[in-house]
Amino acid sequence: MQRFHDGRDWFFEKRFGMFIHWGVYAVRGWHEQLQWRGRMSKAEYVTLMDQFNPVAFDPDQWLDVVEAAGMEYICFTTKHHDGFCLWDTAHTDYNIMRTPYGKDVLAMLAEACHRRGVRLCLYYSCPDWHHPNSVNFGGDHQLDAPNPGDQPDLLKYVAYVKAQITELCTNYGRISAFFWDIPPKINIPELNATLRELQPGIMINDRGFGPGDYSTPERHVPDGKGFSRPTEACQSVGRQSWGWREDEDYYSDLLLMQSIDKILAMDGNYLLNVGPKPDGTLPAEAVRILRRIGDWFGRVREAFYGAEPASHLLAGGEAMLTRRGNSLYVHFPKPLASTGIMLNPLRIQPERAVLLNDGRELRAAVELVPSFWQSGAYLRVAGLPVNELAGEVPVVRLDFADLAAALAANDGPVGKEYLL
């Protein structure tokens, strides 16, 4: 995996983060694209600002959940497609300071993040359904027709965007990453250059006005055994919406764990989203999900941190591998089919096999089994508690005295040319 050898390399050390989608759309509790998908006029939609009063917002409560989930950074939607700004901006009145709440929530969140050592990343939408000059040149997520009185003007809108990102990267301390969204099909290098000038070491994604540092697959797990460039997958705890939805369909804990496990085993980062309620609190079910994931993640996290993808050492897709030092970690991104697994074509004997989920030792041996589809002796891990662990992803650590030497001597198709 490519490294930058500068301040951006924090990205490869902090692997798991929280995404926050929040705005005036939370008032209706339906979807973050309420204005577009709900066919609301601008005149009607802007009245939600007068109802947005998150009196229970406490950034430390958010960060308590971040830490309980095992997350180490947070990405906050400063401005979504509706154009409403969750900070004290001088460039539009359509912002949090004009609501009944009247406080700069980004400033409050930034102070808490910096105080507690949680890295702060900012999301900013390229389209803007409120600004009269907005034009997302060639991009999607556009209103069906301009608002009355709009005067689309690319240069004026880019000047507005530059002024706003200058505020964001000047007034809120260190910003670790910038998450553009809905890329326009036009390259304006000065915008990313502004971000880098104001925030040296900032990571910039690939959805903005030019090439970025990392890719952002959304709501799916890509095929393959590793990523060729820095990648941060994003998913929400809810199936229907990124913002708070009152009648949400939540993903199962297991599905989210499987997704996290596979992305991290491929050497990617994972950004898991929650939509706060209009009062500023996180939904109870979302908190339960994150705490449950955090309980699992805390027990298996050694398989990801400081580890490298090693799934190329295996045939088939039943399991994946990561490697750290003299240990291989076996991951199961799909539900286990049985209490044992053959790690074909490995013929290397570990000194110990440990199930990280509960610390129990398992039996691992190179052996021939009476199988129609197994023609030789391979490393078998047996005694996996498939029923006990039906609700979470198992991860097994295999410890070797000298893993590099064992792999080099492996007499199967995995030879020196495959070594990490």
Same domain, 298 and 317: no
As averages over each run of 10 residues, the pLDDT of the chain (420 residues) reads 90 98 98 96 97 98 98 98 98 98 98 98 98 87 88 95 98 98 95 98 97 96 93 98 98 98 98 98 98 98 97 93 98 92 95 98 94 79 95 97 93 42
> Does some domain include residue 2?
no
Give the domain CATH number at 405.
2.60.40.1180
Residue 354 domain-assigned (yes or no): yes
Cβ–Cβ under 8 Å, residues 347 and 293: no
Clarify whether residues 38 and 129 are in a common domain: yes
Q: Are residues 327 and 357 in the same domain?
A: yes
379 & 236 share domain: no
Sign of the torsion angle spanned by Cα atoms 34, 35, 41, 43:
positive
User: What CATH number has the domain bearing residue 120?
Assistant: 3.20.20.80
Are 382 and 291 part of one and the same domain? no
Q: Please state the domain count of the chain.
A: 2
Same domain, 123 and 223: yes
Residues 113 and 53 in one domain: yes
Domain interval for residue 294: 7-303
Q: Which pLDDT value is given to residue 412?
A: 52
Please report whether residue 1 resides in a domain.
no
User: Do residues 254 and 381 share a domain?
Assistant: no
**What pTM value is reported for the model?**
0.95
- What pLDDT score was predicted for residue 417? 33
- Which of 240, 274, 303 finishes a domain? 303
Confidence (pLDDT) at 308: 96
What integer pLDDT is reported at residue 372 of this predicted model? 63
Tell me which of 282, 303, 324 is where a domain ends: 303
**155 and 59 in one domain?**
yes
165 and 214 within one domain: yes
Domain membership of residue 398 (yes or no) is yes
- pLDDT, residue 414, reads 46
Give pLDDT, residue 373. Answer: 64
Whether residues 355 and 401 share a domain: the answer is yes
Q: Which pLDDT value is given to residue 102? A: 98
Of the residues 283, 303, 323, the one at which a domain ends: 303
Do 218 and 246 share a structural domain?
yes
